[in-house]
Amino acid sequence: MLPDYTNCITNIIASIEAHHGLAPLQQTHPVVDALLGEKHYRSIVLLLYDGLSVATLKEALPEDAFLLRHLHTTLSSVYPPTTTAAVTSLKSGLNPIQHGWIGWTMHLPSLDQNVDLFINRLQNDSQFASLDNAGMSLLPYTTFTSRLRAQGIDAVEISSYGDVVTSGRGEMTEAVIARCLSPGAHVIYAYDGNPDALMHEIGAHHPDVMTLVRTLNQEAEAFAQWLPEDALLLITADHGLVDAEYVMLSDYPEILDCMVRPYAVEGRTAAFFIKPGLRDRFKEVFTAALSDRFTLMTTSEFLASGLLGPGVMHPSLPAMLGDFIAIAKGNACLSMKPEYAGLVGVHAGFTEREMQVPLIVAKR
């Protein structure tokens, strides 16, 4: 399933910014525009549950559950549908082609290192990158909340990593409610890392995941009831997950012999850096071995495909993505070797389960 950048999570941010008089960075979303225009909301709350796809909602919940009753429409994630790309898009209002945070692990040419951007550690290593906060240092962006604050609007992120730092969903929702009840107008972005974290550990369909989603449903319903009448609650997600069917590159020495370094980005959308003179050889051996599980394209083809969205390309992207991109078919997922294949649930592929996320609307 291809991303739709006219019906995307970034369009939510464009609508919120346009509603407050800022020039939107993307097309606005007509559904969100209509919601914001129907009455004056003193507080707008955008709550993101990491990994809570439409497919997971429908698998875990009965039709009359709060989150399904209030499912307003289905949105597209960005590509790749992965936390690094999608959350960065949501926070910045930029498409992946513009911000450059394409996946969990990015090759940073100026450091000559593959770095896990969110945690600033070297790929498959406990060591930190050679530059503090390498992602924001080399791929900086402004958040939509900071742009709103610059216009005098009380706009904050409330999360474990936000402007208002909280621990756990209960503390997060209490902080959101308290801010909505305080004087003035507010725009609040709140983030919770589940069910993504649990799905990574035990899989997308595990009974414990279904139980967690039912708990999220109960908590979201109570949260919505506690919000004041002049608050609009929008709930969405960044992506969904599938259970990995691993392909170990250690089983394919002829592929490894062509590579300069481990692949970057993600196991379901992988960037390959090839030794000089071996591009044709790599294409030949990769296609012969793995064309039933991955689509291989040159990085130039990938960047021209529109998969990363419209907008001016970040100048560092071509160098960060190397020579080839392999995109998974079905549930296939690359790993350099078995000891690195620790995640059960994964994302960053083309399936509907990963790409389709909800726009849930609660208002009183």
Interhelix angle 168-181/207-226, nearest 10 degrees: 20
Do 206 and 257 fall into the same domain?
Answer: no
| pLDDT exceeds 90 at position 65 | yes
Cα dihedral sign, 288-289-292-298: negative
Tell me the per-residue pLDDT of 7-56, one tens digit each, with 9 for 90 and over. Answer: 999 999 999 999 999 999 999 999 999 999 999 999 999 999 999 999 99
- The DSSP symbol for 340 reads G
Q: Six-digit token pair at 335?
A: 């790993």
Confidence (pLDDT) at 153: 96
Domain assignment present for residue 308? The answer is yes
Domain assignment present for residue 205? The answer is yes
pTM: 0.96
Spatial neighbors of 78 by CB under 8 A, at least 6 apart, are 3, 5, 8, 9, 10, 85, 86, 89, 95, 96, 308, 309
Residue 364 pLDDT class (50, 70, 90 cuts): confident
What SS3 state is found at 359?
Answer: strand
Phi, psi of 314, rounded to the nearest 5 degrees: -60, 130
282: domain CATH number is: 3.30.1360.180
Do 274 and 235 fall into the same domain?
Answer: no
| pLDDT exceeds 90 at position 176 | yes
Confidence (pLDDT) at 66: 98
Residue 68 pLDDT class (50, 70, 90 cuts): very high
Do 196 and 281 fall into the same domain?
Answer: no
Look at residues 185, 128, 199 and name the one whose alpha carbon lies nearest to residue 156. 185
CB 1 within 8 Å of CB 350:
yes
Strands 324-328 and 264-265: unpaired
Domain assignment present for residue 166? The answer is yes
Do 306 and 335 fall into the same domain?
Answer: yes
151: domain CATH number is: 3.40.720.10
Domain assignment present for residue 108? The answer is no
Do 36 and 79 fall into the same domain?
Answer: yes
CB 201 within 8 Å of CB 241:
no
Do 264 and 180 fall into the same domain?
Answer: no
Which secondary-structure segment (H or E) carries 157?
strand 154-159
Which secondary-structure segment (H or E) carries 356?
strand 356-362
Q: Six-digit token pair at 330?
A: 């079905």
Domain assignment present for residue 261? The answer is yes
- The DSSP symbol for 362 reads E
Q: Rounded CA gap, 21 and 352, in Å?
A: 34
Do 223 and 255 fall into the same domain?
Answer: no
**Average pLDDT estimate for 203-228:** 97
Do 267 and 199 fall into the same domain?
Answer: no
Domain assignment present for residue 202? The answer is yes
Domain assignment present for residue 277? The answer is yes
Look at residues 83, 106, 79, 82 and name the one whose alpha carbon lies nearest to residue 95. 79
Confidence (pLDDT) at 226: 93
Do 328 and 181 fall into the same domain?
Answer: no
Domain that holds residue 72: 9-98+139-241+352-362
Could you write out the DSSP letters of every residue in 235-300? EE-S---EE-EEEEGGG-HHHHTTBSS--EE-SSEEEE-B-TT-HHHHHHHHHHHHTTTEEEEEHH
Do 220 and 144 fall into the same domain?
Answer: yes
Q: Rounded CA gap, 14 and 144, in Å?
A: 9
Q: What is the CA radius of gyration of the chain?
A: 20
Confidence (pLDDT) at 195: 98
Domain assignment present for residue 3? The answer is no
Tell me the per-residue pLDDT of 89-109, one tens digit each, with 9 for 90 and over. Answer: 999 999 999 999 999 999 999
Do 221 and 286 fall into the same domain?
Answer: no
**Average pLDDT estimate for 307-329:** 98
Q: Which ranges constitute the DSSP H helices of the chain? A: 9-19, 30-38, 54-60, 66-69, 83-92, 96-99, 134-138, 144-150, 168-181, 196-202, 207-226, 253-256, 279-290, 299-304, 317-321, 352-355
Tell me the per-residue pLDDT of 272-288, one tens digit each, with 9 for 90 and over. Answer: 999 999 999 999 999 99
| pLDDT exceeds 90 at position 186 | yes
Q: How many domains does the chain have?
A: 2
Tell me the per-residue pLDDT of 119-157, one tens digit each, with 9 for 90 and over. Answer: 999 999 989 999 999 999 999 999 999 999 999 999 999
Do 256 and 193 fall into the same domain?
Answer: no
